[in-house]
Amino acid sequence: AQKVTQAQTEISVVEKEDVTLDCVYETRDTTYYLFWYKQPPSGELVFLIRRNSFDEQNEISGRYSWNFQKSTSSFNFTITASQVVDSAVYFCALSEATETSGSRLTFGEGTQLTVNP
Amino acid sequence: EPEVTQTPSHQVTQMGQEVILRCVPISNHLYFYWYRQILGQKVEFLVSFYNNEISEKSEIFDDQFSVERPDGSNFTLKIRSTKLEDSAMYFCASRRLAGAYTQYFGPGTRLTVL
């Protein structure tokens, strides 16, 4: 069975601080995908990034960066110089990589990030 | 940029009534999904659908739920006899097939059962 754990329920920072959101996952699959989604106060789920289990390269996109470490089953997300608009719930998710099933997403509990001015 | 759309944005119904939630997936996508999110909780998988049949469903997706692709564009979730605990945000998602595993979500339908 797959499981995603986001131990930080809520994080509050002041604008311009860096913040890291933790994600730890469990899976028996050897091939899988990891995702981060953002859910702003308006409620929609916005895709941010996908990594596959073969690619442990860290990735940077503007103020966002992701650190994937297979050895510790972690896929952490860092926002540099946070802004008020970053305030949202952030979900880490996992799916197996097979076309023979639906490849459902298993979500973590989410981390509520509040960036204060 | 193509988007997943969902209607209605908010549905209020009485307990025991049937509801149909509608989704229009992205046009060249072949896998379709429904998820739900009870207020303040995590997003939970309900069902996946491919090639006009259910490919996977969760334990939440019992006999009260059904899905259908009635035409080439719509994808629907029906709840036959709603219960108070069905109150949640329901998200539709879709993805392409060939090695593309990213699911794109619609804006959600907030279902309130009274």
Residues B61-100 pLDDT 10s: 999 999 999 887 899 999 999 999 999 999 999 998 766 6
A85 pLDDT higher than 90 = yes
- Identify all chain A residues contacting B47, using CB atoms and an 8 Å cutoff: 102
Identify the sign of the CA torsion B37, B25, B103, B78. positive
- What are residue B33's DSSP bridge partners? B48, B93
Q: Distance between CA atoms of B95 and B25, rounded to whole angstroms?
A: 8
A54 pLDDT higher than 90 = no
The answer to whether residue B50 neighbours chain A at the CB level (below 8 Å) is yes
The first and second tokens of residue B27, run together, are: 């046009």
Model pLDDT, residue B99: 64
State the average pLDDT for chain B: 93
Q: Which residue of B has its CA nearest to A107?
A: B43
- Identify all chain B residues contacting A45, using CB atoms and an 8 Å cutoff: 43, 91, 93, 105, 108
Residues A87-106 pLDDT 10s: 999 999 999 876 656 689 99
Identify the sign of the CA torsion A38, A41, A42, A43. positive
Q: Distance between CA atoms of A37 and A46, rounded to whole angstroms?
A: 5
Q: Which residue of B has its CA nearest to A95?
A: B101
Find which of A103, A106, A109 to mutate to test the B interface (most B CBs within 10 Å of its CB).
A103
> Is A104–B45 a contact, with Cβ atoms under 8 angstroms apart?
yes
Which region, left, alpha or beta, applies to residue A62 given φ > 0 means left and ψ of -120 to 50 means alpha?
Answer: left
Element (H or E) spanning B79, and its range?
strand B75-79
Name the residue among A45, A50, A102 with its Cβ closest to that of B105.
Answer: A45
- Identify all chain A residues contacting B52, using CB atoms and an 8 Å cutoff: none
Mean pLDDT check: name the lowest of A95-99, B12-16, B38-42, B84-88. A95-99
The contacts of residue A107 (CB under 8 Å, 6+ apart) are A4, A37, A91, A92, A93, B42, B43, B44
Find which of B101, B109, B110 to mutate to test the A interface (most A CBs within 10 Å of its CB).
B101
- Identify all chain B residues contacting A38, using CB atoms and an 8 Å cutoff: none
Closest CA to A90 of A114, A117, A73, A74: A114
Model pLDDT, residue B98: 62
Model pLDDT, residue B77: 98
> Is A91–B101 a contact, with Cβ atoms under 8 angstroms apart?
no
The distance between the two most distant Cα atoms of chain B, rounded to a whole number of Å, is 42
